[in-house]
Amino acid sequence: MRSSPNLPIGALSYPAPQSKTHDQQQGRNMSQQKRSVSVIGLGPMGQSMVKAFLKAGVEVTVWNRSADKADAMVELGAKKAATVAEALNANEVTVLSLTHYAAMYSVLEQAADQLNGKVIFNLSSDSPEKARAGGKWVREHGAEFVSGGVMSAGDNIEHPASYIFYSGPKEIFEAHAELLRPLSPQEYLGVDDGLAQVFYQALLTTFHPWLLAFDQATAMISKAGHDIAQFVPFAIRSSQAYPYFMEEFSVANQNGGWADLASLKMMVAGAQHIIDASEEVGVDATLSHASQEFWNKAVAASEEAGRAVSTYELMRGAAESK
């Protein structure tokens, strides 16, 4: 969560008693209002959401296909709904934390006639088009809809790096942003239901290869007879350069992508060195072979086009049109 700025000691002095202003009275009334939400889907992420809500003093009603997970949340202070309809009817706002959008249909179809007038925040992962279709379906049943993508350190939504993308009607998001604030810092992107998933999946696109690459790197260290713990500080130190590369290559990609034939050939050679170092000690280098294949494609496309063609162009499918 974002921390509050440090205040000078003088800022903590108490003012003389005053009569309550309209804003103060309104704030007091709002604080007395019941804050409540339903959460459907109690995998690791759903459970983390329930715990965050409860910690913030929000009343939570839960439903899950397997009752044992719901029972575990009840022990922490949540209320258990016996049916999907009961969960929807318990509160105006329902948060979905499911495996994918197909699960949303299988769950909400059990009580589709209860959706009218409700607000659904679907924080499940899926493709942007499936999020758009899901939003359309929910609205056709009389409910409001906002999609989301949870960027977190595993299921630790309280980690300082965690936040949530939201997209959909701005007025609906803003009306319930305060209720959802305990989950993580919020990043509202725009009205397109699919936009949260565009950004979410784009970030996972960088995370998945990184995760596999780190496994390959540490396997290489270990099978070479060395200590992974000794290697990790250097990996962290090296990663501090990543923001620089992101900024540089983002500018290049906005202008068609970075490419230089000599450098592309150097990347092919560099990938081969990684492959050799991995396979010499029996480590699977599939990921490095895939990287080398892209560099080779860029070299071949450059030689055919008579100009440098970037891997960015290849991935966009734009090289052939130039």
Rounded CA-CA distance 202/179 in Å is 27
- Is the sign of the CA dihedral 109, 110, 116, 118 positive or negative? negative
In this prediction, residue 258 carries a pLDDT of 86
Q: H/E element holding 188?
A: strand 186-190
In this prediction, residue 87 carries a pLDDT of 97
pTM tops 0.85, yes or no: no
Is the pLDDT assigned to residue 10 strictly greater than 60? no
pLDDT digits (tens, 9 = 90+) for 222-233: 999 999 999 999
In this prediction, residue 26 carries a pLDDT of 39
pLDDT digits (tens, 9 = 90+) for 92-137: 999 999 999 999 999 999 999 999 999 999 999 999 999 999 999 9
Query: What average pLDDT does the chain have?
Result: 89
Q: Which two tokens stand for residue 69?
A: 């997970």
Q: Where does the pLDDT of residue 4 fall: very low under 50, low under 70, confident under 90, or very high at 90 and above?
A: very low
Is the pLDDT assigned to residue 23 strictly greater than 80? no
Q: Where does the pLDDT of residue 11 fall: very low under 50, low under 70, confident under 90, or very high at 90 and above?
A: very low
Q: Calculate what percentage of the chain has a pLDDT beyond 90.
A: 84
Would residue 81 be called left, alpha or beta, if left means φ above 0 and alpha means ψ between -120 and 50 degrees?
Answer: beta
Is the pLDDT assigned to residue 28 strictly greater than 80? no
Is the pLDDT assigned to residue 318 strictly greater than 60? no
